[in-house]
Structure formats: structure tokens, C-alpha cells
């Protein structure tokens, strides 16, 4: 990731892509399984569906509990804002109208039967834990945003790689592998 000088209000994004030798249906099973995600992340600790939901549908909600060495521990509620199997699964964090972030998995079938997988995220426009760090050090906002985007890029790359491994019949990664 190159330095962009982005500020939080710019709604900076990160995108990671992977080619997977498995059908979109198989990849969909993995990316839409929110219970799998904590095993693939060093930051996300646990996830639970709310309101009796048991899987992804537009409008469903889930809580996520996270931990980060610099940001501490926190819990958020996310809202499924796109859900079209086996093509797209996206959720807005905290408020669907003014999310602190939007996350999306997009799947595209390839002619060889495989899948092109993209994981994308956008910061803001709603406030997040990062906003508090920026409030404390406004002169360092661009650096704070850049460092966090790089963290997301590394984490997302590890997630896409783990999904590729699982979809292609590999082992379940240990938490923190990558």
C-alpha cells in the first residue's frame, strides 16, 4: 500500500484479491460464515448473530468483539447490507446509514470453474475507535489512517489466503497464522 495522505473523512478503502480453484458456491460457504472469521483474524475475537438470525440475509445483525494492542477491546453491531449468494456479502458496522466501516466480499465465477474473490473495506463516514485516536492526535491523522489501512491490508490478505486454502481443501489456519 502506497502513502496516499488520506484523511478519515475521505472514506479511504482497501481491496485485496485472490484467485481460488474452487466454485463460487464453495467460496460463498466460507465468506458468508461469520463464525469462521475469528479463526482467520488476530483482531476479531468472536461473532454472534442477533435477533434469532442463523445466517446471512439482508437486514440481519451480528455482534463482533475485537481486540487490538493499540486500540483496546470493543464490541460492534454490524448490519448485512448486501447478500446475494454466491456473489456478494457485505455489512455496515455500527449504523447502516452512517457506518464506521463497510466490509464486502465479492465473488466472480471464472471460466475454469474457479472464483475470483475480492475483500474490500471502506473507513467511515461514521465515527469509529480510530476517530478517538485522531481526536487525541489530529496532527497525525494521515499517518494514523495510513497505518490502520496497512494493518487492514495485511489482515485481509491473510483472510483471503486462508479462504483460498480452505476452499481448495487445505487445513484450517491457526489463529494468527499469516
| pLDDT tens, residue by residue, 11-34 | 999 999 999 999 999 999 999 999
Quick check: 127 and 100 in contact, CB under 8 A? yes
Which pTM does this prediction carry?
0.92
pLDDT of residue 174: 56
Q: How far apart are CA 102 and CA 22, in angstroms?
A: 26
Q: Is the pLDDT of residue 178 over 50?
A: no
DSSP string for residues in 19-71? EESS-HHHHHHHHT-TTTHHHH-SSEEEEEE-TT--S--TT-EEEEEEEETTT
Q: How far apart are CA 107 and CA 164, in angstroms?
A: 12
SS3 content of the chain, % helix, strand, coil (to 5): 30, 35, 35
pLDDT digits (tens, 9 = 90+) for 28-81: 999 999 999 999 998 999 999 999 999 999 999 999 999 998 888 999 999 999
Q: Is the pLDDT of residue 158 over 50?
A: yes
Please choose, from the candidates 60, 1, 8, the residue with its C-alpha nearest in 3D space to the C-alpha of residue 34: 60
CA dihedral 9→81→47→172, nearest 10 degrees, is -100
Query: Which domains are assigned to the chain?
Result: 8-33+83-167 (3.30.530.20)
Provide CB contacts within 8 A for 2, sequence distance 6+: none
Q: How far apart are CA 48 and CA 66, in angstroms?
A: 12
Amino acid at each position: 500500500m502506497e502513502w496516499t495522505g488520506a484523511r478519515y473523512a475521505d472514506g479511504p478503502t482497501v481491496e485485496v484479491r485472490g484467485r481460488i480453484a474452487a466454485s463460487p458456491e464453495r467460496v460463498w460457504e466460507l465468506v458468508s460464515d461469520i463464525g469462521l472469521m475469528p479463526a482467520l483474524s488476530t483482531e476479531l475475537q468472536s461473532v454472534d448473530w442477533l435477533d434469532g438470525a442463523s445466517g446471512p440475509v439482508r437486514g440481519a445483525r451480528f455482534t463482533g468483539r475485537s481486540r487490538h494492542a493499540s486500540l483496546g477491546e470493543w464490541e460492534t453491531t454490524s448490519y448485512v447490507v448486501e447478500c446475494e449468494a454466491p456473489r456478494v456479502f457485505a455489512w455496515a458496522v455500527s449504523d447502516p446509514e452512517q457506518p464506521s466501516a463497510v466490509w464486502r466480499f465479492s465473488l466472480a465465477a471464472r471460466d475454469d470453474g474457479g472464483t475470483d474473490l475480492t475483500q474490500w473495506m471502506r473507513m467511515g463516514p461514521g465515527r469509529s475507535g480510530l476517530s478517538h485516536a485522531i481526536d487525541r492526535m489530529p496532527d497525525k491523522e494521515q499517518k494514523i489512517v495510513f497505518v490502520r489501512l496497512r494493518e487492514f491490508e495485511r489482515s485481509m490478505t491473510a483472510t483471503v489466503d486462508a479462504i483460498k486454502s480452505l476452499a481448495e481443501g487445505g487445513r484450517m489456519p491457526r489463529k494468527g497464522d499469516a
